[in-house]
Amino acid sequence: MNYTSLAGELQSLVRGSIRINESMRKHTTWKIGGNADVFLDPSDKGDIRQAVEFARERAVPFTVIGNGSNLLIKDGGIRGLVIKIGRGMANLSVNGNRIRAGAGAMLPELAAVARKNGLGGFEFAAGIPGSLGGAVVMNAGAINGCAADVLVEVEVVNHNNKLVVLKKEELDFAYRTSSLQNQGLICVETLWQGYAKEQWQIERETKEYLAKRKIAQPQGYPNAGSVFKNPQGDHAGRLIEACGCKGLRIGDAEISTKHANWILNLGNATAKDVLDLIDKIKQVVQKRFGVLLHLEVRVLGED
Ligand SMILES: Cc1cc2nc3c(=O)[nH]c(=O)nc-3n(C[C@H](O)[C@H](O)[C@H](O)COP(=O)(O)OP(=O)(O)OC[C@H]3O[C@@H](n4cnc5c(N)ncnc54)[C@H](O)[C@@H]3O)c2cc1C
């Protein structure tokens, strides 16, 4: 497929910018990943619908990403079109105790707007570096709450390229998952609802929570947060640590010595380094504890 001419054609249909052979290292917090054939930074919902229609008509595969903070993109990159829902779709507006926001706005921005407006329930969002679209897909959360607690509804682009509103109840939220993970729907807008809470209280709790995160989490090297989901009633980090895996390294990928469920990119880690480390961890944890760990990070692209 000639991606240069395809990109040119698509550029004439959308307002957002198109790039070819875009390195996905720039778009993941792990700073890992091969190139995307064609990359779109959409300006609005219209761009997304145009791009999706264009791709479907030409049988070009397409992939949607947010801030890339939960993604391992393989070294061979991503074929077809990658749509990154980000700054072009990051508007937020408050109405009473509700906040409407584009899927490209970030969780810490949502938390900040809620804080300024005396809305509680969003404290968990302050420290998670994901877009709102990615947060809904992953049901992002921490000890003090998760996306499902405060979400009202989302607007998605469906398989017929129509904009459809889905209520929270339709999204099958559970621990770090939602039905949006496997349905091929694209989240473009979100509506959230908080409750009245004193601003000083939100500020104090947020500060304490961020300080705790800073102490518990590795700093300084690119990563994607927790690699594995916690198995029921336990912590993946505890199991991995108990197997003596802290500090284990393949290439430039290292299991953090601070938090065993985090894998750090010490400089030039490849997706293969990380995947080999993941396999190793799964093997030793299964052998020692009989527990099969499941990935929290999403793996995209080709070897
Ligand atoms: C330092 C650090 C700390 C973290 N801490 C936490 C934490 O405390 N709790 C937690 O839950 N997570 C945490 N994470 C993981 C991550 O931030 C969350 O999973 C976040 O919700 C992912 O959002 P994203 O925009 O980066 O999504 P991405 O990583 O870009 O994508 C995640 C998945 O969602 C899909 N997707 C993204 N946007 C859309 C959209 N608009 N429509 C349809 N599909 C979409 C992608 O295809 C992919 O399958 C952390 C990550 C890092 C790097």
**Catalytic hit among 115, 176, 178, 254:** 176
Active site residue 53: no
User: What is the biggest distance separating any 2 CA atoms in the chain, rounded to whole angstroms?
Assistant: 57
Active site residue 17: no
DSSP 106: B
**Catalytic hit among 69, 131, 178, 226:** 226
Q: Which residues contact 252 (CB under 8 A, 6 or more apart)?
A: 265, 266, 267, 268, 269, 270, 273
CA–CA separation, 199 vs 229, rounded Å?
33
Residue recorded with tokens 């969002």: 125
Ligand 1 near 139 CB (within 6 A) = no
Pocket test for ligand 1, best of 41, 45, 123, 137 (most atoms within 8 A of CB): 137
| CA of 12 relative to ligand 1 center, distance in Å | 30
Active site residue 176: yes
Question: Closest Cα to atom 20, ligand 1: which residue?
Answer: 130
pLDDT at 227: 98
Order across the sheet with 163-167: list the strands: 92-95, 98-102, 186-193, 151-157, 163-167
pLDDT at 74: 98
Ligand 1 near 146 CB (within 6 A) = no
- Domains contained in the chain, CATH given: 3-84 (3.30.43.10), 88-215 (3.30.465.10), 236-300 (3.90.78.10)
Query: Mean pLDDT by 10-residue block, N- to C-terminus, for the chain (303 residues)?
Result: 92 97 98 98 97 96 98 98 97 98 98 98 97 98 95 97 97 96 95 98 96 94 98 97 98 98 98 98 98 98 97
Phi/psi-derived region of residue 87, left when phi > 0, alpha when psi is between -120 and 50, beta in every other case: alpha
